[in-house]
Structures are given as structure tokens and as C-alpha cells.
Homo-oligomer: A and B are copies of this chain.
């Protein structure tokens, strides 16, 4: 097992080098880059559709979609007139930095103000892979249950921003919002939490304001 661990470490180190190169490239183009991570069906693509609807007139937005199979998510974003590239992992459970490099070579995504990378639907594996992003965003839908931050602590500790999604369904599901806020804060005291419903639009302004503010901070720094 030592050999596997050692080879994995080397592969991870190589991947980190690619991530650093990407970070340099995004700094040059002044692009804010987010790595969106969640369970399948937490509403990543729907939140992106809503965000594009609010921001695409004022900001150049681009999207990289990661999925095991189908071009569905990239198609949904392209339908809104925003450039999107679909990475098909063919079974792999996360995106890596080299796939992002290839996506940038293949598709006309840069220059952009904000690049969203929607990772493969998986709350575990994408956590440890740096894609050169400014920060990770973890989404948790209220229908998934309030025990998830403590059950999947790594991603909730590492994501700068936690977005609680599908808040419109709160009346229909058992979900202790206060407990979740407390658990996320204990795992990640300096993180930001936003509660949204892409269906009703609640919280979307706050989410978009956060993006614009982070873009401003990146360009000032």
C-alpha cells in the first residue's frame, strides 16, 4: 500500500503544480474563479443559471462543467448565451487541474470576469484537488438533511463559501437550519454562509453581491 500512497502523492504534487500555473494565468486575466462542489442534485447548475441571468449583462461569465456523462449541464448554460465547456470524466469522480488546462485550450472561455467550475457531483473526492480557483464553494440542499456538514467535514472546512440551496423546500423537509449554521461555523469559523432559493430568488442578490465584491477585491489586490 506504501507504493500506491507514494505514487498518489507524486500525482497530487504534479496536479498542484498545474493548479499553480492556472492560478497565475487567472491572476493575469483578472478572472475570479470558483470551484463549485456538492452532492449530485444539490442545485449547482440551477444556481449558475440564476447567477448568469443576474450578472451576464454586466460581467463576462464563463463556465466549465464536470460530469461523468452527458453534455446536459453545459447545454443548459450555453442556452443562456454564455460560453460553457463540458469536461466528461468518463467515470472519474472529480476534476483535476490538467482537465481545466485542456478546457481552456479547447474552448474560448478567457478573458472572463468570473469563471465558474462546476465539479462532478460528489461531496468527497473533489475536496482535495486544487483547480487553481480563488476559492471553493460547497452547496448543500435542504433536502439532503442537516447532518451533512458533520458527516462530510473536509469540504465544509475547506470551502470559503457554503451555499444552502432549495430553501423554498424548508417547510416540507426536516432540516434544522440553526444546527447546520452552527456546525458549518464550527468547522469553518472564517467562512461565509449564504441561504438561497433559485426557485423564489431569495438570497440570490446576496450571493451575486458576494461574487462582485470578491471580484473587486481580487482586482484591487
Contact = CB atoms under 8 A, between A and B. Distances in A.
Interface of A: 1, 3-4, 7-8, 11, 39-41, 67-70, 72, 91, 93, 120-125, 141, 143-145, 147-148, 150-154, 166, 169, 172-173
Nearest to A173: B169
For the complex of A and B, 3 pairs with smallest distance between CB atoms: A41-B144, A143-B143, A93-B124
Contacts of A67: 151
A150 B69 contact: yes
Contacts of A1: 11
Contact of A72 (B7, B123, B124, B147): B147
Given A4-B8, A40-B151, A41-B145, 16 more contacts: A39-B39, A39-B40, A39-B144, A40-B148, A40-B152, A41-B144, A68-B151, A72-B147, A91-B154, A93-B93, A93-B124, A143-B143, A143-B166, A169-B169, A169-B172, A169-B173
Given A125-B125, A145-B41, A172-B172, A151 B93 contact: no
A150 B73 CA distance: 12
Contacts of A150: 69-70, 72
A4 B5 CA distance: 10
A93 B148 CA distance: 14
26 contacts: A1-B11, A4-B4, A4-B7, A4-B11, A39-B39, A39-B121, A41-B143, A41-B148, A67-B151, A68-B153, A68-B154, A69-B153, A70-B151, A72-B150, A72-B151, A91-B124, A93-B125, A120-B124, A121-B151, A121-B152, A122-B125, A141-B143, A143-B143, A143-B169, A169-B172, A172-B172
Given A7-B4, A91-B124, A68 B152 contact: yes
Nearest to A89: B124
A32 B89 CA distance: 34
A169 B41 CA distance: 14
Please indicate which of the listed interface residues A72, A120, A143 has the most CB atoms of chain B within 10 Å of its own CB.
Answer: A143
Contacts of A169: 143, 169, 172-173
